[in-house]
Amino acid sequence: MTPKLKIPPPATGALPPDAQGARRPKTTRATLLDMKKHGEKIAMVTAYDFPFARLADQAGADVLLVGDSLGMVVLGFDNTLPVTLAHMLHHTQAVTRARPQAMVVADMPFMTYQVSPEEALRNAGRLVQEAGAEAVKLEGGAAIAPMVAAIARAGIPVMGHLGLTPQSVHQLGGYRVQGRGADAAARLQSDARALKDAGCFAIVLEAVPAALAREVTAVLEVPTIGIGAGKFCDGQVLVLHDLLGLFAEFVPRFVKQYADLGAAARTALQAYVTDVRSGRFPGDEHTYS
């Protein structure tokens, strides 16, 4: 039997240190607005479970996104469409159990917010009440402004998501760059304005030309968080499994891989299997007398 790992909870009132070892306060909507105002870049990363939420928080990430990308990188679906509210509740609960200083944003999965503002609000409320999310993220532009407004009016911070919106993959005809050409660029700009006016406190821009992301970032009062949207956004987000080298099925051009944990894990597992087969494990030091 695998021994149970004992991870001591932080002492009451104690803050986990960031990468520099300094203690930092809880990130809120106001913190992110302030960071934009002062030109400080926002670092957001996805997290889907307790151990990686802890690690990303200790590394100093400002925002942990429980993305519906979990459908692909954790649950093995072909896209994000099969992800349900039950999946999101389960994984958001695991992330918030890490009690991060980073803000926890939960994605609202496909068909949990498109039908009506009432349904959107009820489902957003469940992510906050049952899973401890501190904000929710919705994909889409002006068409979902009534849903954003209903959720924001109830006191739940809402993050928008424009450009390549993976829940619309069939309508978009694949995972392609969005906002190219004058009409598409103008549409994205007016969608960003509509989301801000409806109450979004930040907007993810995915797979859009850097020049367009720069323009949107310059005129918008709330932070933009880019993924494949160039360096002029107020912040950046990457999928955890992409940046750690844990998801090899499909690596978009915009991903920077900071580690190859997939290879490291495979090597470690091979060594374990070899040790078991050869009788090298367990040794005396792993054995009770």
Task: Indicate whether 109 belongs to the interface with ligand KIV (CB under 6 A).
Answer: no
Query: Interface with ligand KIV includes 107 (CB under 6 A)?
Result: yes
Number of chain positions touching ligand KIV (CB under 6 A)? 12
Rounded-to-integer distance, Cα 223 and Cα 201, Å: 7
Q: At what angle do helices 117-131 and 145-153 cross, to 10 degrees?
A: 50
Tell the smallest beta-carbon distance from residue 257 to ligand KIV (Å). 15
Residues 49-88 that bind ligand KIV (CB under 6 A): 65, 67-69
Q: Which one, 160 or 209, has the nearer CB to ligand KIV?
A: 160
234 is a contact residue toward ligand KIV (CB under 6 A): no
Dist. CA 254–CA 222, nearest whole Å: 23
Structure tokens at 22: 């300094």
Can residue 104 be called a binding residue for ligand KIV (CB under 6 A)? Answer: no
Nearer to ligand KIV, 170 or 286 (CB): 170
| Smaller CB separation from ligand KIV, 32 or 227 | 227
When asked if residue 205 is in the footprint of ligand KIV (CB under 6 A), the reply is: no
> What is the amino acid identity at position 148?
V
- Give the pair of three-digit tokens for residue 185: 């660029």
* 207 touches ligand KIV (CB under 6 A): no
Query: Under 8 Å CB-to-CB from 133, ≥6 apart: which residues?
Result: 66, 92, 96, 104, 105, 106, 127
Catalytic residue among 40, 139, 206, 215: 206
Question: Which residue's CB atom is positioned nearest to ligand KIV?
Answer: 67
Q: Give CA–CA dist 211/90, Å, rounded.
A: 38
Task: Give, as one character, the DSSP assignment of residue 222.
Answer: S
Using rule CB under 6 A, residue 236 touches ligand KIV: no
User: Contacts from 11-15 at CB under 8 Å and sequence distance 24+?
Assistant: 15/101
The answer to whether the CB of 214 falls within 8 A of the CB of 170 is: no
| Catalytic residue flag (residue 130) | no
Q: Which residues are catalytic?
A: 206
**Binding footprint of ligand KIV on the chain (CB under 6 A):** 46, 65, 67-69, 107, 161, 204, 206, 227, 237, 239
